[in-house]
Structure 1
Amino acid sequence: MTVLVGYVPTPEGEAAFAAALDEAGRRGEPLLLLNSPRSGAPVSADVAAEPVVQDLTARARAAGVDLQVRQEPHDGEVSDEVLRVARAIDASVIVIGLRRRSPVGKLLMGSSAQRILLDADRPVLAVKP
């Protein structure tokens, strides 16, 4: 099995990566980092730059964890992509980062993390920075 982490280059994404790296090491499983931009977006702040990916890879190597990085674009909601990949690789756990949002913000904007937490058919580890 594999630990799956949904990653964006933010403090929440860094917290998720650190927790996923620990989890993969504890379980003795490889780690799949999903950093998927929306298809058709000319530029996406959600995509980790090459130096960031190199740093994450070095951290995984130092921890003795096999890391695979996927940055292919996706269509639709990112939460659907995370759940699709989790099923496709039969992930043992999904790790995501959470940010603080007000109840009104959640009501008006929705939440990818909330959708993953509610719709996942496997354990989800949600962490805050």
Structure 2
Amino acid sequence: MTILVAYVARPEGRAALDKAIEIATRRNEPLVVVNAGPGGHQDDPALISGYEAERVEERLASLSIKAEFKQFVRGKSAIDEIDNLVKELDVTVLVIGLRKRTAVGKLLLGSMAQEILMSVDCPVLCVKAT
């Protein structure tokens, strides 16, 4: 059983990481932080830099629970990578971050969040940044 968090270097990603750490620590479950994107010749804003990855890894190393960071850039979409990890790791909950939206934007959840909710076979906790 594992807590999985989809991480991006934005306020909503940091809020998701904070909540995932809280849940994993309280339940004493392993935590896996994933950052993924297809890579290639186009820069993907969801992929984090080496410096940001080091910061996440340092934070995870300071925890009292088993925690690891994974970054995938191997041609698959982030959603495919997350879905594969959900199946592989027996994930008890997936934590994702959501951006605040305008009234019109609230009609649509957001393509990534919506696709994750529709594709993964585990509970998903959506967290907003404060």
Report the Cα offset of residue 103 of structure 1: 6.9
Match of 1:58 in 2: 58
Name the residue aligned to 2:120: 120
Q: Which residue of 1 aligns with 2:48?
A: 48
Kindly state the Cα deviation for residue 47 of structure 1 after the two structures are TM-superposed: 1.8
* Map 1:1-129 → 2, pairs under 5 A: 1-102=1-102, 111-129=111-129
Return the offset for 1:34: 0.8
- What is the CA deviation profile of residues 58-105 of structure 1, one whole-angstrom value per residue up to 9, with x for unaligned ones? 322333132211112144542232122111111111000011345765
Q: Which amino acid aligns with 1:72?
A: F
SS of match in other structure, 2:88: helix
Distance in structure 2 (CA, Å) of the matches to 1:60 and 1:16: 14
Q: Matched residue of 1:71: which SS?
A: strand
Greater strand share, 1 or 2? 2
Contact 1:21/1:65 (CA < 8 Å) preserved in 2? no
Are the structure 2 counterparts of residues 41 and 66 from structure 1 closer, same or farther at C-alpha, using a change threshold of 3 Å?
A: farther
For 1:47 and 1:126, the matched residues in 2 are separated by 20
Q: Give the TM-score of the pair, scaled to structure 1.
A: 0.83
Name the CA distance, whole Å, in 2 between partners of 1:80 and 1:104. Answer: 28
Q: Please tell me the root mean square deviation across aligned C-alpha atoms, in Å.
A: 2.4
TM-aligned CA deviation for residue 19 of structure 1: 0.7
Q: Is the contact between residue 5 and residue 16 of structure 1 (CA under 8 Å) also seen in structure 2?
A: yes
SS of corresponding position for 1:92: strand
Q: Is the 8 A contact 1:74 1:81 kept in 2?
A: no
On the 8 A contact 2:56/2:69 being kept in 1, the answer is no
Q: Deviations over 1:2-35 (max 9, x none)?
A: 1111011111110111111111111111111110
2:54 partner SS:
helix
Q: Which amino acid aligns with 2:58?
A: A
**More helix per residue:** 1
Instruction: State TM-score, norm by structure 2.
Output: 0.82
Q: Which amino acid counterpart does residue 30 of structure 1 have in structure 2?
A: P
Q: How many residues align?
A: 129
The percentage of aligned residue pairs carrying the same residue is: 38
